[in-house]
Structure 1
Amino acid sequence: MELQVTYRSELELLTCKSPTSELKYRVFQIYGQKYVKLLNPTGDPEPSTEVFVSNIPRSISVDSLFKFFARCGDIYQIRLLMDFSGCNRGKCFVQYQRVRASREAICCLHDEHIDEEHRIVVKLSLNNNRLILKSIPEWVSEQFVRDVVVRVMGEGLTGIAIKKSRVPYKNYCFCTYRDHQFAIMAHKKSWPFLNVAGMVIDVHWAVPKLLRYSTNLYFTNFSPDLTKKDLFDALIGIIDAKTLVQFRISSKFYGYITFVNYQEMVKAETRLKNNFGLHGRTINFSRVPYAIRNQLQQYSRDYYKHVGPVVLRSAVRATNSLPLFGCYSVANQPSRIPINVPIFMSPVPAISPYPFYNSLRLLPPH
Structure 2
Amino acid sequence: MDKEGLALKLLKLTEKTGYDIVQHNGQRRFGPPRDWTGPPPPKGCEIFIGRLPREVYEDELVPLFSKVGKIYEMRLMMDFSGSNRGYAFVTYTTQAEAAAAIRQLNGYEIRPGINIGVVMSVDNCRLFIGNIPPTRSKEEIYEELKSRVPGVVNVILYKNRFDRNTNRRFAFAEFSSHRAAAMARRALVPGNVKLWGQEVTVDWAEPEPHVDEDLMRNVKVLYARNFEIRTTPEAIKKIFESAINNKIERVKKIYDYAFIHFYDRKHAELAMAKLQNIEIDGSVIEICWAKPVDRELYKIQKLSRGNAKFNKSFDLNQTLLLYKQHLAKMEFDKGSKDEGIGSAYASESTCGSPLDTKPRQFINYDYPLAPRKLEAMCNRYSWLPPKYYFKKFLDINGAEWWVCSVELPLVGYPLFSAPKNIGPFTTRHCFSYQQAHVEAAETILHVLKCLNMDILQQAAIQPVYTPLVSPNCLSVPCNVYQTSTMQVPIQTIPTIWQPPA
TM-score by length of 1: 0.49
TM-score by length of 2: 0.38
